[in-house]
């Protein structure tokens, strides 16, 4: 009741005691949203009590679409417009999609990222994912009857830069403020580790619907330190379905000719797979346009048909273990995550490899969303005493193209993020003012075998004789695992201008266009949303500044303090404004006024961390 | 204390080669608890930027301090003896012979067992050189000689990387 709220002078009222922050597991087959409620992280159910949303979107033409269960139920009736497993298309070009022709929907080769042909026109995987995210956002808003402060969205640890950026873009499109992109196995480790007060070195084996991750982590006193991560961002339960589908076709001599056939076959294969986790054999009726047949599949047959896939996961495990510098027996526990780890052959293979039974006392479907919710709650500032610290790594090396199509490694894989590496480049012609850089991600020596991330064009280099310029290019990977590039000519100090052409993904203009076109942003809506966001940002900033002052006001001189107080008051006054730009301008002033204060606080924090440690060890 | 402070001071450690890995790890975590961008997620873009810079700097120092070869190279540089890994590749003949022998062994290795034998030899050779470096840096403070040993270690690490690459490809 804002009208009745009385506040003491100098004590700012707290508009929201708690900020609603959610964790979202945007999965290949299912997605979930979780939040911390009364101190406990839990997945939020829909009105029928279901926590999982099938990651399926059906376009019905015009503005109409069905999402989740409603879409999945229609999958075999309208396969061409029912988009499932869209996660596999995120940040990918048509050439990257291994089984494009066996998908029941049609893909279009578009610049930047593949698109899907639907009754509502061509859709980017980012837009399809945004539909799923928006559904989860609405569910959370309905649950709390409040706006969502921000979200932690999980991604496979092995996702590359383009796939991460696409995920972040989808969240933006869905109207979610991304607090952090969190690696799925790390999220699982948080949920598992905090629940079990686990300490020591753990392996998280995460086989989802379409991706596989393996992470080796050290857990100690709330610190989750990833030692190494690896995996395959195109290997998951879907592939087991496909392998079984192929085997069924071979067995019966039938063929899947139409999209309906393909959809029906995949649904049948999935059902068989799921049943085989609990029983030794399953019988089914395969009905395709080319004919029908009764089939019986034994678990042994299923395991034989998919053995190569299981072996591929173990290959990644071996490689990641080598990267961590640890032997198998150093692993004190193995946590299984992802619905696909319900398959007995996976449990056996993992148990055999590590020589110990994997831990399965976590719900493999929910654990990732729950871990994300715990982190979201902490990032939103709801848990100031929270001792949790995540130290994650970059999964794939970053490099630049050099002469002859070779890769020069700049940031090696498994480096703790955030991280930055600088590299000096020079000009090779007199008077050269521009330089092109091609950044790739991957472990191979040839550019052609790595993934192209972006082409950077550095401009505005002062003309000099060949070889005289020293252009220092800094590659920064932030805590989301996303790459940023800056460049400076060292001798003149000129900041080079950088034009980025991402190889995959959507341009900023395209995102802006989608935002304009999207369901939630009719003209009025857009303004209302911008206003709400500006107010929320202003509030965030006021809260942060207030708590900073409460802690470290002694760092400020009287003048500085006056300036900050004035800037805060200006923001408070502007909050009633209906022009988002006016609010943003005051927020920006406040951010500027507190910049030196923030730097001084950071220095104090660092000094205190050291002082504390020095006393401990003396 | 600022972003330009050297790694040892930033971590509150004595400027010497001998270090306890436990202390380095502990201080790394203590510093990241203060500076990690996660701590500033709700505090606006400017705070995020600052935290990113510090967090990057702490990780950079950590990566250099925890790796004995990089730590040695850094100590040489702080003492004014640059490693010049790219421009100076002159090495003693005996060392080069050993490298050639290893390269041949790597080319001829057909199975994991052979690669692992080679790996053990590389690890042993690296260990011996590190002991020498410790003596040169902390004992007699002969930075010029330490630079030579560090360069040799860099060659060995490059070889170890190729060796691991072969192990990955055999898998």
CATH number, domain of A537, equals: 1.20.1270.10
Outline where chain B has alpha helix (H). 7-10, 21-35, 44-66, 68-78, 93-108, 112-134, 143-170
A537/B contact by beta carbon, under 8 A = yes
Instruction: Say whether pLDDT at A13 is over 50.
Output: no
How many other β-carbons are positioned within 10 Å of the β-carbon of residue A546? 14
Contact A391 B60 (CB under 8 A): no
pLDDT in tens, A237-279: 999 999 999 999 999 999 888 888 888 899 999 999 999 999 9
Q: Kindly state whether residues A480 and A549 are assigned to the same domain.
A: no
| Paired residues of A59 in beta bridges | A65
Give the pLDDT of residue A614: 47
Is residue A27 in a domain?
A: yes
CA distance A100 to B29: 45
Is residue A146 in a domain?
A: yes
Q: Kindly state whether residues A36 and A179 are assigned to the same domain.
A: yes
Annotated active-site residue in A160, A161, A169, A206: A206
Radius of gyration of chain B, Cα coordinates, nearest whole angstrom: 19
Is residue A514 in a domain?
A: no
CA distance B1 to B5: 6
Domain containing residue A486? 398-508
A449: annotated active-site residue: no
Q: Kindly state whether residues A42 and A172 are assigned to the same domain.
A: yes
Q: For residue A152, give the CATH number of its domain.
A: 3.30.420.40
Q: Kindly state whether residues A476 and A542 are assigned to the same domain.
A: no
Q: Are B39 and A479 in contact (CB under 8 A)?
A: no
Q: Kindly state whether residues A493 and A548 are assigned to the same domain.
A: no
Domain count, chain A: 4
Contacts of B91 (CB under 8 A, 6+ apart): B99, B151, B152, B155
Tokens of B52: 């990113």
Q: Please tell me the least confidently modeled range out of A229-243, A447-461, A552-566.
A: A447-461
Q: Please tell me the least confidently modeled range out of A85-99, A102-116, A396-410, B83-97.
A: B83-97
Tokens of A581: 């730009």
Instruction: Say whether pLDDT at A89 is over 60.
Output: yes
Residue B27: closest CA among B15, B13, B11? B11
- A441-470 in b/e form (b: 16+ CB < 10 A) is bbbeeebeebbbbbebebeebeebeeeebe
Mean pLDDT within A58-77:
90
CA distance A536 to A530: 10
Q: Kindly state whether residues A422 and A533 are assigned to the same domain.
A: no
pLDDT in tens, A456-470: 888 888 888 888 888
Is residue A603 in a domain?
A: yes
Mean pLDDT within B166-171:
78
Q: Kindly state whether residues A538 and A564 are assigned to the same domain.
A: yes
Domains and CATH numbers, chain B: 7-66 (1.10.287.110), 93-170 (1.20.1280.20)
Q: How confident is the model at residue B29 (pLDDT cuts 50, 70, 90)?
A: very high
DSSP of A492-549 = T-PBPEEEEEESSS--HHHHHHHHHHSTT--HHHHHHHHHHHHHHHHHHHHHHHHHHH
Is residue A231 in a domain?
A: no
CA distance A399 to A415: 13
Q: How confident is the model at residue A194 (pLDDT cuts 50, 70, 90)?
A: confident
CA distance B73 to chain A (A): 17
Last residue of a domain, one of A382, A414, A431: A382
Annotated active-site residue in A127, A160, A169, A184: A184
Q: Kindly state whether residues A29 and A168 are assigned to the same domain.
A: yes
Q: Kindly state whether residues A434 and A544 are assigned to the same domain.
A: no
Q: Decide which of A267 and B171 is more confident.
A: A267
Is residue A227 in a domain?
A: no
Q: For residue A490, give the CATH number of its domain.
A: 2.60.34.10
B1/A contact by beta carbon, under 8 A = yes
Contact A419 B60 (CB under 8 A): yes
Angle at A542 between CA A538 and CA A546, to 5 degrees: 175
Last residue of a domain, one of A276, A304, A332: A304
Give the dihedral of Cα atoms A131, A133, A134, A140; nearest 10 deg: 150
Distance of alpha carbon B130 from the chain centroid: 11
Q: Is A489 helix (H, G, I), strand (E, B) or coil?
A: strand
CA distance B129 to B17: 13
Q: Kindly state whether residues A549 and A504 are assigned to the same domain.
A: no
A280: annotated active-site residue: no
Is residue A104 in a domain?
A: yes
A184: annotated active-site residue: yes
Mean pLDDT within A165-171:
94
Q: Kindly state whether residues A25 and A134 are assigned to the same domain.
A: yes
Residues in A touching B26 (Cβ below 8 Å):
613
Q: Kindly state whether residues A56 and A175 are assigned to the same domain.
A: yes
Last residue of a domain, one of A482, A508, A534: A508
Phi first, then psi: give them for residue A229, nearest 5 degrees.
-140, 150
Q: How are beta strands A419-425 and A435-441 bridged, if at all?
A: unpaired
Q: How confident is the model at residue A617 (pLDDT cuts 50, 70, 90)?
A: very low
Is residue A11 in a domain?
A: no
Distance of alpha carbon B87 from the chain centroid: 19
């Amino acid at each position: 009741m804002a009208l009745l709220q009385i506040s003491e002078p100098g004590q700012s009222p707290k508009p929201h005691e708690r900020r609603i922050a959610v964790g979202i597991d945007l999965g290949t087959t299912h997605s979930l949203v979780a939040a911390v409620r009364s101190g406990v992280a839990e997945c939020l159910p829909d009105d029928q009590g279901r926590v999982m949303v099938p990651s399926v979107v059906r376009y019905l033409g015009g503005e109409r679409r069905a999402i989740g269960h409603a879409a999945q139920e229609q999958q075999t009736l309208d396969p061409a417009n029912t988009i499932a497993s869209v996660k596999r298309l995120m940040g990918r070009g048509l050439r990257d999609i291994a089984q494009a022709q066996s998908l029941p929907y049609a893909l279009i080769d578009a610049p930047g990222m593949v698109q899907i042909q639907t009754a509502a026109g061509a859709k980017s995987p980012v837009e399809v994912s945004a539909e799923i995210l928006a559904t989860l956002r609405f569910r959370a808003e309905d649950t709390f009857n409040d706006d969502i402060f921000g979200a932690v969205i999980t991604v496979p640890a092995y996702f590359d830069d383009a796939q991460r950026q696409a995920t972040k873009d989808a969240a933006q499109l869905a109207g979610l403020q991304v607090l952090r992109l969190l690696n799925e196995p790390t999220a699982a480790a948080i949920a598992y580790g905090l629940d079990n007060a686990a300490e020591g070195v753990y392996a998280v084996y995460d086989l989802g619907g379409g991706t596989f991750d393996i992470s080796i982590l050290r857990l100690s006193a709330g610190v989750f330190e990833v030692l190494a991560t690896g995996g395959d961002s195109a290997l998951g339960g879907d592939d087991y379905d496909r392998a079984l589908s192929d085997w069924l076709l071979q067995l019966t001599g039938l063929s899947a000719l139409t999209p309906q056939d393909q959809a029906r076959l995949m649904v049948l294969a999935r059902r068989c797979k799921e049943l085989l986790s609990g029983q030794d054999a399953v019988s089914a009726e395969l009905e395709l346009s080319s004919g029908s047949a009764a089939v019986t599949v034994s678990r042994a047959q299923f395991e034989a048909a998919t053995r190569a896939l299981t072996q591929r996961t173990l290959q990644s495990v071996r490689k990641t273990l080598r990267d961590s510098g640890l032997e198998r027996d150093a692993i004190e526990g193995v946590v299984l995550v992802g619905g696909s780890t319900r398959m007995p052959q996976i449990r056996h293979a993992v148990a055999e490899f590590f020589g110990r039974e994997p831990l399965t006392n976590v719900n493999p479907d929910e654990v990732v969303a729950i871990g994300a919710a715990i982190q979201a709650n902490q990032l939103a500032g709801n848990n100031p005493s929270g001792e949790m610290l995540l130290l994650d790594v970059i999964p794939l090396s970053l490099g630049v193209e050099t002469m002859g199509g070779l890769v020069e490694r700049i940031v090696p894989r498994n480096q703790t993020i955030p991280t930055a590496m600088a590299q000096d480049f020079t000009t090779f012609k007199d008077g050269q003012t521009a330089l092109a850089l091609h950044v790739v991600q991957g472990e191979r020596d040839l550019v052609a075998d790595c993934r192209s991330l972006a082409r950077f064009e550095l401009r505005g280099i002062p003309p000099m004789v060949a070889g005289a310029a020293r252009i220092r290019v800094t590659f920064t990977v932030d805590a989301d695992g996303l790459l940023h590039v800056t460049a400076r000519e060292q001798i003149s100090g000129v900041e080079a201008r950088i034009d980025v052409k991402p190889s995959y993904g959507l341009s900023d203009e395209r995102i802006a266009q989608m935002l304009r076109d999207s369901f939630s942003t009719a003209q009025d809506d857009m303004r209302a949303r911008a206003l709400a966001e500006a107010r929320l940002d202003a509030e965030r900033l006021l809260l942060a500044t207030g708590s900073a002052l409460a802690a470290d006001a002694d760092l400020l001189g009287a003048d500085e303090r006056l300036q900050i107080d004035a800037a805060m008051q200006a923001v408070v006054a502007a909050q009633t404004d209906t022009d988002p730009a006016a609010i943003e301008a005051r927020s920006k002033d406040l951010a500027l006024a507190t910049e030196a204060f923030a730097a001084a606080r950071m220095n104090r924090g660092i000094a205190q961390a050291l002082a504390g440690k020095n006393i401990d060890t003396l | 204390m600022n972003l330009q402070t050297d790694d040892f001071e930033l971590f509150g450690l004595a400027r010497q080669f001998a270090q306890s890995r436990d202390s380095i790890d502990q201080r790394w975590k203590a510093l990241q608890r203060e500076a990690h961008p996660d701590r500033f997620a709700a505090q606006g873009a400017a705070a995020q930027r600052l935290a990113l810079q510090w967090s990057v700097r702490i990780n950079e120092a950590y990566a250099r301090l925890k790796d004995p070869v990089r730590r040695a190279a850094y100590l040489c540089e702080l003492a004014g003896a640059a490693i010049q890994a790219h421009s100076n590749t002159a090495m003693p003949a005996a060392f080069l012979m050993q490298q050639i022998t290893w390269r041949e062994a790597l080319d001829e290795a057909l199975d994991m067992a052979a690669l692992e034998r080679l790996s053990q030899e590389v690890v042993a050779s690296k260990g011996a050189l590190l002991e020498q470096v410790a003596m040169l840096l902390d004992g007699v403070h002969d930075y010029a000689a330490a630079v030579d040993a560090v360069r040799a270690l860099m060659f060995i690490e490059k070889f170890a990387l190729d060796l691991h690459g072969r192990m990955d490809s055999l898998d």
